[in-house]
Structure 1
Amino acid sequence: MNFELHNLRILVTGATSGIGLDIAHALAELGADLVLFGRDRDKLAELETSLGARIQALDITDSAAVAEAFCAMPPLDGLVNCAGISILDDVLDVKAEDLERILATNVTASAVVTREAARNMIEHGRPGSIVNVSSQAAMAALPGHLGYCASKAAMDAMTRVLCLELGPKGIRVNSVNPTVTLTPMAERAWSDPAKREPMLDAIPLGRFATPREVSLPVAFLLSPAASMISGACLPIDGGFTSH
């Protein structure tokens, strides 16, 4: 068994920014043949050149566009569901339309992409691996995160159902559950010490994650080295959810 991804074709959603962008780079470094979904056409064009990736600009909440994208999809060996949004509000201020947007992207769209990817793998007889990028918010209550916590808990539940249904087809399904991950956006969002320090105090390792500390566990779960791992929800949180 090895940790390399040579000759494996892997689709990554949300690949043009944040964790998804780092996952794309990490998988490319490990030899994967990439298919990238995202909304930033300029960034996708750059990744097409720099990583040799096959690209598709689309909004994954448009199920018709997703289905069309899969019409010409080559055989897949893996999928990373990384596209997601977060809208934060205290529960007394939460808006129905914001909850609908969060669930539409983080849950429904991920389920539709997974459906199409699984059909592709089964049609081509490819045993595959699917990794859902969830969050510590699926495992612990976070103030102001009602919609986000609910959506990521739903993603973990989806992981378990997919594991049960797709396992007999040779397809493994797992989640990773990161803590705050220092993408450029997160660095700005957590720059205020009054916000940052209480969260750091709750993480036994005393620091936030780097994007690569999320990307490499994702790569491991996609790889042959994880061939007997399915249905797992893996905290990448420095111990945050241990208490």
Structure 2
Amino acid sequence: MLPVWARGLEGKTVLITGASRGLGEAIALALADAGAEVLAVARDPQGLAALAARNPAIRPIPGDVTDDAFVDGLSEQDIDILINNAGTNKPQPMAMVTSETLDLMLGLNVRAAYRVAQAAARSMLRRGVGGAIINITSQMGHVGSPNRTVYCMTKHALEGLTKAMAVELAPASIRVNSVAPTFIETPMTAPMLADPAFARFVQEMIPLGRTGTPDDVAAAVVYLASPAAGMVTGTSLLVDGGWTAR
């Protein structure tokens, strides 16, 4: 028998939201490579189809996680592991944040994330076989930053949710953790990092001296999803190159 650290995710079904690009795409591919069947959720059917073409273990499920009826249907899936990844950011000075931006980010980053976690927990509790839930948060769930008041608020909320769910669901052998990346080179961050001054600021804030890659985050997710993390719950794995260590 393989030691616990070497066991993959064979026989496990993983649900991942926001799977069609960026972090979600990299995480979905890594989980499939680790042996899991991956249920990939996103609003972009073409992006999901392209993702599924890269690995036959990935099954596309087009849908919007802000749609309550769609999310309720997810609880009917047999989910062993949830990667709660869908989210967005619209950096703005606090005094200039519009109600539309506030509602958008609270709706997707907090409410939808809660509802998806709830659906996954219901699936796991119904089957009584335990499971793992991993919320993709951010280093901004641990610190503050200018022009990111709403984003920081939503990610701090997810970090609190992670701890509370971990305590409540532990008796059912459901582990709940978060992965909190620094700035990662994705389609969402590309416009920000295209500003030379901002890119320089980011690199100066990261002791390792570079922005992260989607694969850096995917590796952390695979670890927390795997039996190697069997005694890890209620914690946040910072993939931030040391940003929050200062």
Fold match (TM-score > 0.5): yes
- The verdict on how the C-alpha distance between 1:64 and 1:134 changes in structure 2, with shifts beyond 3 A counting, is same
Deviations 1:19-56 (A, max 9, x none): 01100011111111111110101111223333222221
**Aligned counterparts of 2:96 and 2:188: Cα–Cα separation in 1:** 24
* TM-score normalised over the length of structure 2: 0.94
- RMSD of equivalent CA atoms: 1.2
Q: What is the one-letter code of the residue matched to 1:154?
A: A
Q: For residues 138-149 of structure 1, what are the structure 2 equivalents within 5 Å?
A: 138-149=141-152
Matched residue of 2:92: which SS? coil
1:64 alignment partner in structure 2 = 69
Matched residue of 1:51: which SS? coil
**Aligned counterparts of 1:147 and 1:188: Cα–Cα separation in 2:** 19
Answer yes or no: is the 8 Å Cα contact 1:131–1:218 preserved in 2.
yes
Equivalent of 1:158, from 146, 156, 161? 161
Q: Sequence identity of aligned pairs in percent?
A: 38
Answer yes or no: is the 8 Å Cα contact 2:91–2:148 preserved in 1.
yes
**Aligned counterparts of 1:70 and 1:57: Cα–Cα separation in 2:** 15
Equivalent of 1:206, from 192, 205, 209? 209
1:89 alignment partner in structure 2 = 92
Answer yes or no: is the 8 Å Cα contact 2:25–2:51 preserved in 1.
no
**Which 10-residue stretch deviates more, 132-141 or 186-195?**
186-195
2:236 alignment partner in structure 1 = 233
Matched residue of 1:50: which SS? coil
Deviations 1:153-178 (A, max 9, x none): 00000000100111111100000110
Matched residue of 1:79: which SS? strand
Deviation at 1:7, TM superposition (A): 1.1
**Aligned counterparts of 2:74 and 2:188: Cα–Cα separation in 1:** 29
2:222 alignment partner in structure 1 = 219
Answer yes or no: is the 8 Å Cα contact 1:4–1:223 preserved in 2.
yes
Deviation at 1:188, TM superposition (A): 4.0
**Aligned counterparts of 1:184 and 1:101: Cα–Cα separation in 2:** 19
Q: What is the one-letter code of the residue matched to 1:83?
A: A
Answer yes or no: is the 8 Å Cα contact 1:3–1:220 preserved in 2.
no
Give the gaps of 5 or more residues in structure 2: none
Answer yes or no: is the 8 Å Cα contact 1:13–1:20 preserved in 2.
yes
Deviations 1:71-97 (A, max 9, x none): 3x1x22100000001111101101122
Answer yes or no: is the 8 Å Cα contact 1:76–1:126 preserved in 2.
no
Q: What is the one-letter code of the residue matched to 1:172?
A: R
Matched residue of 2:15: which SS? strand
Q: For residues 40-119 of structure 1, what are the structure 2 equivalents within 5 Å?
A: 40-52=44-56, 53-71=58-76, 73=77, 75-119=78-122
- The verdict on how the C-alpha distance between 1:155 and 1:40 changes in structure 2, with shifts beyond 3 A counting, is same
- The verdict on how the C-alpha distance between 1:183 and 1:240 changes in structure 2, with shifts beyond 3 A counting, is same
Equivalent of 1:24, from 19, 22, 28? 28
Q: What is the one-letter code of the residue matched to 2:88?
A: I
**Aligned counterparts of 1:236 and 1:163: Cα–Cα separation in 2:** 20
